[in-house]
Amino acid sequence: MDPGLPRGTVTFVFSDIEGSTELSRRHGAAYGDVRAAHRRLVREALGTHGGHEIDAEGDACFIVFERASDDVDMAGIFVVRPDGSGLRRLTCCGDEPVWSPDGRKIAYREDGISVMDASGSHQHVVVRGFPEMFGPAWGAG
């Protein structure tokens, strides 16, 4: 084991790009730039927040923190341009973001199922206490 890695009780985080298969299909070779920007942004954040990269494959990163509180500042939903610039945090927590078919809204899990505008504004809970096994999804119509 690497002597620089935390020991004892630690927090593990798995990071990846939501919808990467579709993004790769849609953008072809340009998706490599998106993946490289994601990896660069994750590594910059790790340095700031005391995390350690254990492994990386494709668009996925496996990360460890010495204390659970160290990863709190990295939590949330972020958007970034394909070239890696313009990183913006939309929420301080929340996960499983799903863009609406028209790209104007994002549904995500936080205190149930929440929705916000694609800009991060107008955040509100739609359903409280939704079971953990279900994530947000957009229906037809």
Confidence of residue 67 (pLDDT cuts 50, 70, 90): low
83 & 113 share domain: no
The pTM for the full model equals 0.54
134 & 67 share domain: no
85 & 112 share domain: no
Confidence of residue 69 (pLDDT cuts 50, 70, 90): low
Count of domains in the chain? 2
Domain region containing 2: 1-89
* Count of other CB atoms within 10 angstroms of residue 125: 13
121 & 77 share domain: no
Instruction: Give the Cα separation of 89 and 139 in Å (integer).
Output: 26
Instruction: Give the Cα separation of 69 and 105 in Å (integer).
Output: 30
Residue 84 has pLDDT above 80, yes or no: no
Lowest-pLDDT range of 69-83, 90-104, 105-119: 69-83
113 & 132 share domain: yes
Please count the CA atoms within 13 angstroms of the CA of 111 that sit on its side-chain side. 10
